[in-house]
Amino acid sequence: MNSFIYVLTTNGVLFLISVIFWKFPPKKINRLYGYRTPKAMQNQQIWDFANTTFNQTFLMYSGFSLLGGLLLANFSVIELTWEPMVLVMLSLVVSIIKTERALNDNFTDEGKRKK
């Protein structure tokens, strides 16, 4: 498979999903769509904050992932195998960690906003 096609079908799809999440965030707490962790689903205020934070970081890091994958595809002398998928996983993990840190910094375990 062509390296550019591989990057577009992995990192490009991730970026497309992040744009969809950013443009159409979930309005109400649900179990199907959005950033769904037990802390994020405690109340509507946390849900809105968590989804906004996750969507912004996910969009940024999936964009970096796409650009990094395209650079790898452009400069690689051999066919890419696992490298774009590592960028996908890093984008997801970093977005989740940053969102959880923001939740812990801004909300208590009981779901109240910290002062």
Interval 71-79 mean pLDDT: 85
pLDDT band at 87 (very low <50, low <70, confident <90, very high): very high
pLDDT score of 96: 97
pLDDT greater than 90 at residue 75: no
SS (H, E, C) the chain: CCHHHHHHHHHHHHHHHHHHHHHCCCCCCCCCCCCCCCCCCCCHHHHHHHHHHHHHHHHHHHHHHHHHHHHHHHHCCCCCCCHHHHHHHHHHHHHHHHHHHHHHHHECCCCCECC
The domain ranges of the chain are: 3-106
pTM, to two decimals: 0.89
pLDDT digits 0-9 by tens, 30-74: 999 999 999 999 999 999 999 999 999 999 999 999 999 999 988
